[in-house]
């Protein structure tokens, strides 16, 4: 599996013929959330809680993840985060 934003140049016939799945980080994170929601939400919350300089709430981290290239994941994880 190859995670990239550059699907145009990496999702090519030779790469796919080699059995490599090429997806975006957003697709990967959405699939992970679907398959292992509790673990992803717990890990996401721990990651936000570990931010000390500056401190960051899980909802803030979701916003940053959205602007960094995983908007669908951020939208899907947000309802599962503690408020």
Domain boundaries, the chain: 24-83
What does the pLDDT look like over 34-51, one tens digit per residue? 999 999 999 999 999 999
pLDDT on residue 82: 76
Low-confidence ranges of the chain (pLDDT < 50): none
> Which residues, including other chains, have CB under 8 Å from residue 58's CB and lie 6 or more apart?
44, 45, 48, 49, 81, 82
Query: Is there a contact between 22 and 2 (Cβ–Cβ < 8 Å)?
Result: yes
């Amino acid at each position: 599996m190859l995670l990239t934003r550059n699907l145009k140049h990496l999702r090519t016939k030779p790469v796919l013929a080699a059995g490599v799945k090429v997806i975006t980080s957003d697709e990967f994170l959405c699939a992970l959330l679907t398959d292992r929601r509790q673990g992803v939400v717990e890990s996401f919350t721990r990651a936000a809680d570990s931010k000390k300089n500056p401190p960051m709430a899980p909802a803030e981290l979701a916003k940053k993840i959205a602007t960094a290239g995983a908007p669908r994941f951020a939208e899907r994880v947000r309802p599962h985060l503690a408020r």
